[in-house]
Copies of this chain bind each other. A is one copy, B any other.
Amino acid sequence: MTGNSHIQKALKMLENSPLKLTSQRVSLIKTLFKDGNQHFSAEDVYNKVKNTGVRISLATIYNCLNQFTSHGILKMVKASSDKVYFDTNLKSHHHFFCKASGELTDIDAKKVRISKLPKIPQGKKLNSIEVIVNISD
């Protein structure tokens, strides 16, 4: 047991959440966090999990991905794509997006400096700033 630390950390977050520790959720965490920071569509996850031999319905994939997102175990990213991406990188960061390939790539927050921003509209509060750098070949 090499003990993948990404998986361990995510499992700990699941345990610390009010979500029950089901076999489906544990399998999902293991698949999602196996290889460090990645971006998955729901269908990606469905196929990846199937490849491990574990059987989970697509409805459960969606349920869990959304619950993980609500509980801070995943982040959701929308780009100029018809599908949503789930992001295992929980640090605040930005993205390159290549529409042609559908590939989303992390940009570390330190690599971007936003030195000027307008004031937030009356009565609203700032939630997050997302920078997407669209690229192509």
**A114's contact among B105, B108, B114, B125, by CB below 8 Å, is which?**
B114
Main secondary structure of the interface of A (DSSP, over half): strand
Quick check: is A111 within 8 A (CB to CB) of the other chain? yes
Count chain B CB atoms within 10 A of each CB in A98, A113, A130 and give the residue with the most: A130
Cβ contact within 8 Å between B111 and A117: yes
Tally of A interface residues using CB under 8 Å: 35
Choose the segment among A3-11, A30-38, A41-49, A74-82 that binds chain B (4+ C-beta atoms closer than 8 Å): A74-82
Residues of chain A touching chain B, judged by Cβ–Cβ distance below 8 Å, are 76, 78-81, 96, 98, 105, 107-108, 111-118, 120-121, 123-137
- Closest 5 interchain pairs by CB? A113-B116, A111-B118, A127-B134, A124-B135, A115-B115
